[in-house]
């Protein structure tokens, strides 16, 4: 029996040349069709593209409330009889979302719960619509609200009335109820696959590999495609049209892997181009200036002019060194190297020695500086310190001897 260099019979090899690409093509078309069908039926499209806000993402600005697991419990209204729980700093297009589904417990007589939002064009003017529980679905048609338009920059709930029990906000879910046309679907699939991911601080932890809310997540789609290839080939084997060997299965997997890697390599090259644009042909100092925290580095360069050339001891004070200002104080410390920096303070240090430096990043509510007395003051401490340098970014002090 004639065999080729792969060990397969020549007849099998020539058949594979046609059969395998055909199986791949049929499988690819089937995958696209399956995704289209999946999003065409039921609420799959609306659920996939929904923007879900759990209660614990809301902040109570008026009244009193408490986070309980994923939910928010609004426990008390203000003296004006109202409580606000909202999220701000968001940007989403009102056109994208046409329905609100909400999960809220604690509806009671004499208490009105409104869905509230603010738009970019009129952020100070809060819009509202009352939420009414129903037996089948707690849904609100946002298209019916004339002020649901433009860019939404904040949203949440307003509770009005006398609360006898807490109002528990579990979830607010914005949905796209209108399904796109076929070509728009295909366009979305294409944009999912041509999405270019850039490096972020999370890249060493995980690679997302697709846009948020992708309709056709790439890795599962390729895995599905390979599974279909397997199924079709096995079907052909059971009907005795092809032999059972590892060849086609190996080819299917390697092709799938190559598709993913080609896409990933394309992402890497694009990222490399932007890296070169951002940092190429620059000195180490210029690179840091061109970095994400270039402004901070610029400030540290100024500060360094007032520090001794030899490494010295320096305290950094920020408002919330373990959470909110962690990045700021860590980067500042890194830029200040090789100075010996203690960066974990949110108040004046208890232990220091004259000649130590103190770098203060605003805002720090309790910290004050008395220029005449050359004293730094907070709730617990008064420290003699000389202001060395000050800008809007921060202030540098040099610690003095304690008065006898």
Partner 1 sequence: MMSLVLAIVLPWLLGVVWLRKGGVSQWSLLLAYGYLLGILFTTLLLRALDSLGLTLSFPLCALLLSVLIFFGIQQTRTLWQWNGSGSLAAWRHQPFWHHLLFGLVLVGIAVKFYGFAVEIGARPLYPWDAWTTWGVRPQVWFEFKQLVPFVDAASWLATDHSLTTAYLLEAWHYPPAVSLIQLWMSLGYGQWHESMANLPWLLCGVALGLGFYGQARLWTGKPLLSLVFTYLLLSIPLLNAHVALAGYADLWMATIYSLAAIALLQWLRTRDRAQGLLALLLGLTCALVKVEGVVWLLTLLPVASAALTPRRYRFGLLLLLVVLLMLWFWNGGFSATLPGLGTIYLQPERIEIPYLGRFDVAYSPNWEPFLDNFFVLGSWHLFWYVLILLVVVAMPKIATDRLLLIFSAVVSSGLAMLFFLFLMTEAREWAAKYTSINRLFLHITPLLMFYGLILFQALRAQSPNTNPLSEPQSA
Residues forming contacts to partner 1 in the complex (CB under 8 A) are: 5-9, 12, 197, 199, 201-210, 217-220, 222-223, 226, 243-247, 250-251, 253-254, 256-257, 260-261, 264-265, 268-269, 271-272, 275-276, 279-280, 284, 287-288, 291, 311-313, 330-331, 333-334, 337-338, 340-344, 349-351, 353
Residue 202 makes CB contacts below 8 A (sequence gap 6+) with 208
Contacts 24+ apart (CB under 8 A), 284-291: 288/335
DSSP label at residue 42: T
Beta carbon of residue 292, minimum distance to partner 1 (angstroms, whole number):
9
CA pair distance 200, 326, nearest whole angstrom: 17
Nearer to partner 1, 162 or 276 (CB): 276
Nearer to partner 1, 220 or 235 (CB): 220
Beta carbon of residue 352, minimum distance to partner 1 (angstroms, whole number):
8
Residue 9 makes CB contacts below 8 A (sequence gap 6+) with 1, 2, 3, 243
The end-to-end CA distance of the chain, in Å, is 104
Indicate the length of the chain as a whole number: 404
Q: Are 46 and 32 in contact (CB under 8 A)?
A: no
Beta carbon of residue 275, minimum distance to partner 1 (angstroms, whole number):
5
Nearer to partner 1, 132 or 203 (CB): 203
DSSP label at residue 68: E
Beta carbon of residue 145, minimum distance to partner 1 (angstroms, whole number):
35
Beta carbon of residue 178, minimum distance to partner 1 (angstroms, whole number):
26
Q: How many CA atoms does the CB half-sphere of 66 hold within 13 Å?
A: 4
Nearer to partner 1, 63 or 321 (CB): 321
Dihedral, 382, 386, 388, 389 alpha carbons, nearest 10? 40
Nearer to partner 1, 351 or 379 (CB): 351
Give the Å distances, CA to CA, from 101 to 64, 129, 173, 377: 24, 13, 5, 51
Beta carbon of residue 63, minimum distance to partner 1 (angstroms, whole number):
31
Nearer to partner 1, 58 or 222 (CB): 222
Helix (H) or strand (E) holding 272: helix 246-279
Q: How far is CA 163 from the centre of its chain?
A: 35
Nearer to partner 1, 337 or 392 (CB): 337
Give the Å distances, CA to CA, from 229 to 28, 190, 249: 9, 21, 8
Nearer to partner 1, 161 or 211 (CB): 211
CA pair distance 195, 268, nearest whole angstrom: 12
Nearer to partner 1, 54 or 160 (CB): 54
Beta carbon of residue 341, minimum distance to partner 1 (angstroms, whole number):
7
For residue 112, report the phi and psi dihedrals to the nearest 5 degrees: -110, 130
HEC sequence for 179-234: CCCHHHHHHHHHHHHCCCCCCCCCCCCCCCCCCCCCCCCHHHHHHHHHHHHHHHHH
Nearer to partner 1, 106 or 349 (CB): 349
Beta carbon of residue 350, minimum distance to partner 1 (angstroms, whole number):
8
Token digits for 293?
Answer: 């925290």
Q: What is the number of other CB atoms lying within 10 angstroms of the CB of residue 55?
A: 24
Beta carbon of residue 237, minimum distance to partner 1 (angstroms, whole number):
12
Beta carbon of residue 216, minimum distance to partner 1 (angstroms, whole number):
12
């Amino acid at each position: 029996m004639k065999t080729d260099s792969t060990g397969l019979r020549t007849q099998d090899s020539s058949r594979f040349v046609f059969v395998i690409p055909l199986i791949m093509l049929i499988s690819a078309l089937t995958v696209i069709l399956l995704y289209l069908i999946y999003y065409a039926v039921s609420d799959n499209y609306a659920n996939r593209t929904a923007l879900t806000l759990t209660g614990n993402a809301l902040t109570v600005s008026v009244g009193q409330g408490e986070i309980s697991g994923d939910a928010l419990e609004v426990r008390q209204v203000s003296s004006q009889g109202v409580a606000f729980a909202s999220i701000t700093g968001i940007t989403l297009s009102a056109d994208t979302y046409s329905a609100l589904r909400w999960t809220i417990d604690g509806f009671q007589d004499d208490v009105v719960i409104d869905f509230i939002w603010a738009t970019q064009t009129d952020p100070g003017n809060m819009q509202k619509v009352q939420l009414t529980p129903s037996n089948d679905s707690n849904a609100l048609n946002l298209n019916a609200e004339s002020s649901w338009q433009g860019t939404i920059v904040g949203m949440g709930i307003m509770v009005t009335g006398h609360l006898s029990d807490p109002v528990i906000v579990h979830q607010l879910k914005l949905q796209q109820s209108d399904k796109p046309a076929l070509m728009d679907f295909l366009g979305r699939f294409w944009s999912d696959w041509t999405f270019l991911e850039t490096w972020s601080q999370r890249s060493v932890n995980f690679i997302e590999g697709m846009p948020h809310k992708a309709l056709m997540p790439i890795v599962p789609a390729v895995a599905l495609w390979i599974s279909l290839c397997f199924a079709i080939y096995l079907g052909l084997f059971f009907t005795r049209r092809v032999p059972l060997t590892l060849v086609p299965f190996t080819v299917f997997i390697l092709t799938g892997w190559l598709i993913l890697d080609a896409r990933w390599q394309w992402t890497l090259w694009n990222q490399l181009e932007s890296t070169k644009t951002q940092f190429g042909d620059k000195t180490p100092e210029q690179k840091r200036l061109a970095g994400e925290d270039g402004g901070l580095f610029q400030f540290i360069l100024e500060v360094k002019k007032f520090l001794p050339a030899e490494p010295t001891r320096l305290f950094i004070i920020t408002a919330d060194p373990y959470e909110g200002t962690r990045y700021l104080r860590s980067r500042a410390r890194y830029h200040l190297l090789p100075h010996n920096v203690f960066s974990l303070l949110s108040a004046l240090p208890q232990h220091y020695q004259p000649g130590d430096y103190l770098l203060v990043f605003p805002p720090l509510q309790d910290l004050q500086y008395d220029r005449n007395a050359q004293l730094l003051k907070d709730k617990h401490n008064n420290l003699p310190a000389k202001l060395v340098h000050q800008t809007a970014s921060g202030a540098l002090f040099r610690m003095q001897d304690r008065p006898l």
